[in-house]
Chain A
């Protein structure tokens, strides 16, 4: 398998595009025609459906190189997007090992990891990186282990300390977030950083999710999908820069909605780390323009029904209430009312 990496942008001229292959493997998040919060966990790891984003442990796709370039731009403008409280250094090394090992095993033609005791040699071909370093010795890397490896891995990464029967947002690399601030939330516990989410707390979602996550075992990662809507293929929809990207949300018209309105899906996974007992929480973002999504008839029908029937509070929270009717009107033309098959995958 070879991947052709796109030369594309996630800001300014927004030249991001999904190939036909990327559309086919898009992680469509709805397994039925309506949506409400749930603790929709399932096992993650090797052996996922061939060709899907679940096949490998840390999916690498055609956007890899461009996403890493976009992350570097964001970090250059705001170093606080990557932070680690002092007690999280070991968890950073755990994460570095996990990602290097998984990438090297799952994509041997792209990544290699050679270990001789503590002396490691890492080769990242797509990014042209070759690094010899001593594991657990931070002076042998150009930056901390968390920042080093997450500059080479798609998606945001939260690293959660586990203590007092709770999870604590004590480290992370967050440059492609759906409007939350690591700098503000760092140090908070599970209930505190989820505090702004409407309805879910009274549904008991967070109590159940926390119970599940506290019990995640080493070697048995889990995953779930989450979603929102974003105008333009923008990774950095941070609160920090909201005043800069906010005006774009008001540029949707019936004419451009198919091209400018994107479904944004997070593939969230959860990994127990071996030395620190921390929980790694990668949040991988996938974007698809509505006009590309509707090329899959099942997804078009279902997304129409989900958006149409969504409780108002959720559309508000997810930030697309202002464009909701235009989205519904656009999708309606692709919904002939026929039943949809169960599950998230396109019909073959």
Chain B
């Protein structure tokens, strides 16, 4: 599976340039599911990236073979977790402990990249130190502009806010600080008139 190509959009919509090796600099790596392949390819292009890398891995349906391959790449540290919420305390601690010049490699779907990048930026990591590659589904992480609740894994437009129940349309406007796209009430002016949901496209 290759990195996702997104159609062109507004300037706040993130684009993911993909992972490029930065040599044996100290690094944090975080991958989920199909993102694990991107890390394996990165290490294939330059094995030295693993020498000082702490790897955080969320299998998310990827088989044990991929986990074994990632471990075999020889990262300096390896932490596995069932999802980002569970892995987050250890990942955030690693961000806090990271020295200046540490690189961050992120690979997975937009929800994972968005949350991890928001945590990294909040921890003081500069945006230029972060490489990200989109792999996996194109579900979006959406913030309801009204109640502020986050709905994960949104695949249709419009969708129902998991918190307040409003019908929200999916904007391309994106906040790196929140790690989410903006959802806005679709029937605010004409309550009850909700368009038929459509599948989100890349």
Contacts and interface: CB of A to CB of B under 8 A. Distances in A.
Contacts, number: 63
Interface string A215-244: 000000000000000000000000111110
B11 A239 contact: no
Given A184-B143, A184-B145, A196-B171, A243 B188 contact: yes
A186 B188 contact: no
A247 B189 contact: yes
A322 B177 contact: no
Nearest to A248: B189
B163 to A, nearest CB: 14
Contacts of B170: none
A195 B189 contact: no
Nearest to B184: A239
Given A183-B148, A187-B175, A240-B146, A195 B10 contact: yes
A185 interface: yes
A331 B178 CA distance: 44
Given A247-B191, A250-B189, A184 B182 contact: yes
Contacts of B175: 184-185, 187-188
Chain B interface mostly = loop
Given A184-B175, A184-B178, A195 B148 contact: no
B184 A193 contact: no
B12 A242 contact: no
Interface in A170-200: 181, 183-188, 191-196
B166 interface: yes
B200 to A, nearest CB: 18
A184 B178 CA distance: 7
Contacts of A183: 148
A201 interface: yes
B187 to A, nearest CB: 8
B80 to A, nearest CB: 31
Contacts of B145: 181, 184, 239-240, 242
Interface string B1-23: 00000000011110000000000
B185 interface: yes
A195 B185 contact: no
A249 interface: yes
Contacts of B189: 246-247, 249-250, 322
Nearest to B177: A187
A247 B188 CA distance: 6
B166 A184 contact: no
Nearest to B176: A187
Contacts of B146: 239-243
B69 interface: no
| Most chain A CB within a 10 A radius of its CB, from B146, B178, B182 | B146
A195 B8 CA distance: 13
A46 B173 CA distance: 38
A186 B166 contact: no
B198 interface: no
B175 to A, nearest CB: 5
Interface of A: 80, 181, 183-188, 191-196, 201, 239-243, 246-247, 249-250, 322
15 contacts: A184-B143, A186-B177, A187-B176, A191-B12, A195-B10, A195-B13, A239-B145, A239-B182, A241-B146, A243-B146, A243-B185, A243-B188, A246-B185, A246-B189, A322-B189
